[in-house]
Structure formats: structure tokens, C-alpha cells
Amino acid sequence: MGNRDGNAAFERLADATATAGADAFVHVGDRFDDDLRYLTRFGGPDRDYAFVHADGRSTLCAPRLFAEQAEREFPGSVVSASESSASSAAERALEVLGDRLTSPLEDACVLALPSMPAGATRTVADSVDEVVLEPIDLGRAHKTSAERDRHAFVQRAAQRGMARAEAVLAAATPETAGDAEDAEEARLDELRWDGDLLTTERLRREVNATLAKSGVRDAENTVIGVGTTCADLHFTGEDRIGPGETVLLDLSPRGPQGYYADLTRTFVVGDVGEWERRAYDAVGEAQDAAFDALRGGAGTRAADVHEAATRTLAEYGFESGDVDVGMYHGTGHGVGVSLHEAPSLSSEDPLEAGHVVTVEPGVYDPDRGGVRLEDLIVVTADGYENLTAYPCEIEPNPTRTETISDLSN
């Protein structure tokens, strides 16, 4: 499986190298470099390692202490590199390159990605004739069925996390703050849960523990906004949650082999106000319209999906684009070993079978709150498959955990 995935990318590398008129491809990075992870399947350490593709062969230069892990994970040959500074990842790559190439190293033209560190690039450039920096389509947007399964696994875990949040919100009770003089007024802005005030941080910890129990990690991506902070798209503070406020949870955990989920739901505890109801209805309809646009599957112009969503929002009086109130982000993006990757649902290009994308319309008012609903789908030849099976209801349902109990990993 890993092998097959790896080889598909290796073939694209070989093509890109030939097209660029280069003799080899070199990349240097660490575990946080998603292209390198995609190419090598190596979870790697937080120090630089190198990848070389030359003469039809792919080689990973792994730090010495991680060579065993590299052997397990990398579908190619592994060269163990010293961890001493005397031999950097780039220098190790040059040694491998020297072994692989039939012509002298100093005559070589090397293709590399613009994301390669400038220092490593300079080291390589100093020993070869030329380094050509060029973005390369590694085929990451096209998911294999094995990759689709990894997304499905982590999306199920995300749904378990969401169910935990929903259960906590459903069990939270409006309560008088201790220091409030007017009890009725205090009820309007405080929720208690499990003996204490409910905050976004307490909710986040419950969600993240559930993700961990499901075998995935929150990856610093458990975004929870409440009321006005919902408009701040990646808010991860510690705010009290009150009744009547929108609570927006955007969960993007990372699962085995580095594949991400992406799931957003919005709730309101207690009475739902007019703006919140209208926003929720609008976003729900906009998501339905986006799904309708996706019915054609492969070949659908990506921007048609975004435009279907924004058209529907407009019918509800919500503007889109570079606005302060309304929808000021795209309707969706590709997801893979990066949380954000190609394709964008704002693109003029047609969607293709195997694209894994989010469908996430939202509307925000910095003075009121925000609503977003997000599913993760796979584009197929004649439609799409939704990897998400989580209901959209604004009022938290206390029995949600049981109803989605089949989502176990």
C-alpha cells in the first residue's frame, strides 16, 4: 500500500525531472514538511533529512538514530546518515547523488522544490552545475483508495470528538454567577458543566481526549469560537460559553500516516435568537446547494460549488467575498497530508475523481457570532461520497453519542 502510493509519486518525479531537463531531484526537510512526508511515508524526526530521486531510484537519507523507522516506512532504499553537523542532510544527499549519477556531480542539473530550505539548497548548488527550483505536482490531490480510507478513519474520529462536545453542551446548564446581583441577568451569560463554568478550553480538552482515545491527534487544530470570536476563524482561546451564543467547533485532527480530517458544526445552547436561526438556515441551505453542484462529480468546475453556496447565502441576505459581515472565505479546500492543499473550490479547474475536499460555507458577524457547517467529501466519477455522517442541528442533542456509536475506530 505504502509502496504503491510511493511509486505513483516517484513516477511523477521522474517525469518532472525529465521535463525540467534535470538529472535528479533532491529535497531536504523534516517531519513537518508534508511533501517530504508524502514522498517518503516517513514520520521522521524534527531534524533535517534528505530525499534523492535519480536514475529511477528513490533514496531516503535518514538520521542515524531513525534509520530503523525509515526502513519500516519508506518504500525505497534507505541510507543512514550521521547526525553530526559535519555531515548535513544536504551533504548526505550529494553523496548519494554522486553514487547514482553516471556523469560528474559538478555537471549535474538538480530539480528541487521552492520549499527546500535555502541553506540546504545552497549546499547542493555549490557542488552541482545548477539547481532548478520549481513547484512539482506530486499528485497529492488524487487520493488512492488507501488514502481515502485513512481520511475516513480520521473523519470518524473527528465525529466522535464532535459528539463529545455536543454531549457536554447538551448537559451544560445556565446558572447564576456567584457575584451577580441580578440573578436573571446573570443567567444570560454563563453556562455551568460538571461543577464549573464551561469555557472553550474545557470543551477543547474533552474533544481532544476523545480524539486521542480514537487514535488520532488534535494537531493544534481544535478551533472553538463562542459568540463574537466565531468570526475569528482560528480562535483557540479560553472564553466562557454562554446560552444563546453560537459555539463553533472546527475539528481538524491528524490521523495515522498524517492524513487530516475536517469537520465543523455550530451549536447554540438554550434559546436560539433570530440572527442565529437565520444564519444557521442559510448556511445549511448553502451547503445543500454546494452538494447539489457536486452531484455531477468529476468534471464539475470547482468554482461552481462555491458559487452555488454564495448564491444561496445571498438569498438569505448574506454577502460573500471581501466583506466584514457574511462569508469571507472560500467554500472548500483539498485535504490530505496537509490540512489545506489543492484543489480549492474557488478554482476554475474541473474537479477530478479522488479529490478530497471540504464543503464549508459559513457566515459571520463580528458583533454577533458565526455559523459554519463543514463536511469532508471525496469526488467520484459520477458524484461524490460524503465521508461525514454527522447531523446538522443547532440545538445540542444529549443522545448524540449513542446515535453515532458506530463511528468507532
Q: What residue ranges bind a copy of itself (CB under 8 A)?
A: 31-33, 43, 45-47, 65-66, 68-69, 72, 112-122, 131, 133, 201, 205-206, 208-215, 217-220, 232-237, 254, 328-329, 338-340
Q: Using the minimum distance from each CB to a copy of itself, give the nearer residue, 216 or 377.
A: 216
Give the Cα separation of 112 and 403 in Å (integer). Answer: 49
Minimal distance, residue 222 CB to a copy of itself, in Å: 9
Beta pairing class for 173-174 and 191-193: antiparallel
Strand segments (E) across 19-68: 24-29, 49-54, 57-63
Q: Using the minimum distance from each CB to a copy of itself, give the nearer residue, 111 or 294.
A: 111
- For residue 11, the tally of other CB atoms under 10 A from its CB is 12
Minimal distance, residue 270 CB to a copy of itself, in Å: 26
Minimal distance, residue 327 CB to a copy of itself, in Å: 12
> Which H or E element spans position 206?
helix 200-213
Q: Which amino acid is at 239?
A: D
408 by DSSP, 3-state: which?
coil
Q: Which residues of 255-276 are buried (b: 16+ CB within 10 A; e: fewer)?
A: bebbbbbbbbbbbbbbebeeeb
Mention every residue, 6+ apart, whose C-beta is less than 8 A from residue 68. Answer: none
Minimal distance, residue 212 CB to a copy of itself, in Å: 4
Mention every residue, 6+ apart, whose C-beta is less than 8 A from residue 179. Answer: none
Minimal distance, residue 204 CB to a copy of itself, in Å: 8
Q: Using the minimum distance from each CB to a copy of itself, give the nearer residue, 129 or 385.
A: 129
Minimal distance, residue 73 CB to a copy of itself, in Å: 10
Minimal distance, residue 395 CB to a copy of itself, in Å: 26
Minimal distance, residue 180 CB to a copy of itself, in Å: 28
Instruction: Show the CA angle centred on residue 332, arms to residues 15 and 138, nearest 5°.
Output: 10
Q: And the C-alpha cell for 183?
A: 440573578
Q: Using the minimum distance from each CB to a copy of itself, give the nearer residue, 33 or 166.
A: 33
CA atoms within 13 A on the CB side of 49: 34
Q: Using the minimum distance from each CB to a copy of itself, give the nearer residue, 132 or 183.
A: 132
Give the Cα separation of 50 and 76 in Å (integer). Answer: 13
Q: Using the minimum distance from each CB to a copy of itself, give the nearer residue, 98 or 117.
A: 117
Indicate the burial class of 357 (C-beta count within 10 angstroms; 0-12, 13-18, 19 or more): buried
Q: Using the minimum distance from each CB to a copy of itself, give the nearer residue, 32 or 106.
A: 32
Q: Using the minimum distance from each CB to a copy of itself, give the nearer residue, 142 or 217.
A: 217
